[in-house]
Amino acid sequence: MKVYKFTIGTFAVNNYLIQSETSNKAILIDAGEAPQPILNKIQSLGLELVYLINTHGHGDHIAGNATIIRETGAKLLIHPLDEPYLRDPTLNLSAFLGARLESPPADGFLEEGDEVTVDDIRLRVLHTPGHTPGHITLVGENLAFVGDVIFYEGIGRTDFPRSDHNQLLQTIRTKIYTLPDEMNLLPGHGPETTVAHEKRHNPFVRG
């Protein structure tokens, strides 16, 4: 599968467009505000966007949901514990910025052990809570889309409603650090990293 990274919006959210190697079908992971560059890429490549997957329900990751769904007809997937974030501006934090953001409803839900398959694209779902209760990580053959669980030498914030710092640390130890050391981690903000690098250098959770 081919992966295209788009860093967009006020909070510089990383959005990942995944294209099948064998067809024109694709998956988008997260949708930040002003997603026109993503739509332009979809159009230029002639892609059919099958799924939009939200790693979690915070506003910076769902702000583009309505536009992406309207323009592509993609089905929206999220963990059931984060589904309330789609329609609650307090939970998704947009209320604190005066935006009152609401997303279209989910078309389906993803939980631990599920697999998202579109032709040669295969993503295994890990439930990785702490930043939000229903945060998920999507694991491919040699990379994992980790959302806001872990960053390059950093971790996701836990000072938000329904966040849990101890749970996040446990998630990193038991779900992220148990992935292969050479696994590339593609986070929701900042540069990519690897499991091995974070085990050695992450000041918050050492492996």
pLDDT, tens digit, 9 for 90 and up, residues 88-141: 999 999 998 888 899 999 999 999 999 999 999 999 999 999 999 999 999 999
* pLDDT mean across residues, the chain: 97
Percent with pLDDT over 90 in the chain:
97
Q: Where are the beta strands (DSSP E) in the chain?
A: 2-8, 13-19, 25-29, 48-53, 75-78, 108-109, 115-118, 121-127, 136-139, 143-147, 150-151, 154-155, 184-187, 193-194
Least confident of 93-97, 162-166, 181-185, 195-199: 93-97
Question: Rounded mean pLDDT of 175-187?
Answer: 98
Q: Residue 207: its pLDDT value, please?
A: 82
How far lies 86's CA from each of 16, 50, 125, 168, 169, in Å? Answer: 20, 19, 20, 21, 25
Q: What is the C-alpha to C-alpha distance for residues 201 and 78, in angstroms, rounded to an integer?
A: 31
Domains of the chain: 2-201 (3.60.15.10)
Q: Residue 144: its pLDDT value, please?
A: 98
Question: Rounded mean pLDDT of 173-182?
Answer: 98
Q: Residue 206: its pLDDT value, please?
A: 86
Q: Residue 55: its pLDDT value, please?
A: 98
